[in-house]
Amino acid sequence: MQRCIPVGAASPAAATIPPPWTAQRASTEEDHRMRRSAATAGLLLALATAAPLLPTAGPAVAQELTQAPAEAQSGRYALDPAHAKVLFSVRHLGFSTYYGAFPALEGTLDYDAQDPTRSRVDITIDVAAVDTSDAELDKHLRSEDFLNTGKTPSARFRSTGVEMTGARTARITGDLTLRGVTRPVVLEATFNQAGVSPVSKAYTIGFDAETVIKRSEWGVSAYVPAVSDEVTLRIGAEFTRKP
């Protein structure tokens, strides 16, 4: 007597054999697991190799940085010529604002953290190094029409007083000597930061300052008003503490 197997029912032997796509899926998942493991191992190896090349910031450097003038170190500072510049701007024919720079400066800062109003700054500017990115214009600015650098190759600012106007701002009064003429000016200054520079490792103080002068008051009246009498001066400077 023959045993009948219903249509659609799997034989016992067939039931024990997994479908081919099941084995393929298991193989694919295993491949993915192996690839993920290899990728993770490669990433960890790359990080371990690169770690010695990453810059490290010493905690002492970070702790010494401050934006509070009273927390800076008192003493005599020298202007860092690589990180100091005077930018000037004038209105040109009413159409645009024209910019130039005096990139060569030197000077000193006597800083009093306990009483910043007692601080003093003395800066000399090499006006013969005027730079507008136009050689012909630079030559004209050095002429008698403007800076007359043949007779007066430098300008000088010496502070005479400091008035705190905010937690990090001050009004610095002083005398500006240009073309042999000395007149008072007022700088609106901002104390940026003080601390050990992560690059130079020297204790550094940084300031920005701005003022507006009338160049005719220093005998530079050529082409007024086509080129504005008012000149805006913007100063950025870093000072490093002397031993």
Query: How many CB atoms are located within 10 Å of the residue 75 CB?
Result: 15
Backbone angles phi, psi at 188, to 5 degrees: -95, 110
pLDDT in tens, 185-231: 999 999 999 999 999 999 999 999 999 999 999 999 999 999 999 99
Q: What is the mean pLDDT of the chain?
A: 84
pLDDT-based confidence at residue 20 (cuts at 50, 70, 90):
very low
Q: What is the pTM of this model?
A: 0.73
d(CA 101, CA 195): 27
d(CA 206, CA 80): 10
As beta bridge partners, residue 187 has 172
Distance of CA 33 to the CA centre of its chain: 47
As beta bridge partners, residue 211 has 233
pLDDT(135) > 50: yes
Domain segments of the chain as ranges: 12-51, 67-241
Closest CA to 206 of 191, 216, 227: 191
d(CA 106, CA 126): 8
pLDDT in tens, 85-127: 999 999 999 999 999 999 999 999 999 999 999 999 999 999 9
48 against 173, higher pLDDT: 173
pLDDT-based confidence at residue 243 (cuts at 50, 70, 90):
confident
- Label residue 14 left, alpha or beta by phi (over 0 means left) and psi (-120 to 50 means alpha): alpha
Closest CA to 128 of 108, 148, 145: 148
pLDDT of 198 = 93
Closest CA to 177 of 127, 140, 212, 139: 127
pLDDT of 33 = 58
- Assigned CATH class of 67-241: mainly beta
Give percent of the chain with pLDDT exceeding 90.
Answer: 73
Give percent of the chain with pLDDT exceeding 70.
Answer: 74
pLDDT of 21 = 42
pLDDT-based confidence at residue 5 (cuts at 50, 70, 90):
very low
- 3-state SS record for the chain: CCCCCCCCCCCHHHHCCCCHHHHHHHHHHHHHHHHHHHHHHHHHHHHHHHHHHCCCCCHHHHHHCECCHHHCCCEEEEEEEEEEEEEEEEEECCCEEEEEEECCEEEEEEECCCCHHHCEEEEEEEHHHCECCCHHHHHHHCCCCCCCCCCCCEEEEEEEEEEECCCCEEEEEEEEEECCEEEEEEEEEEEEEEEECCCCCCEEEEEEEEEEEEHHHHCCCCCCCCECCEEEEEEEEEEEECC
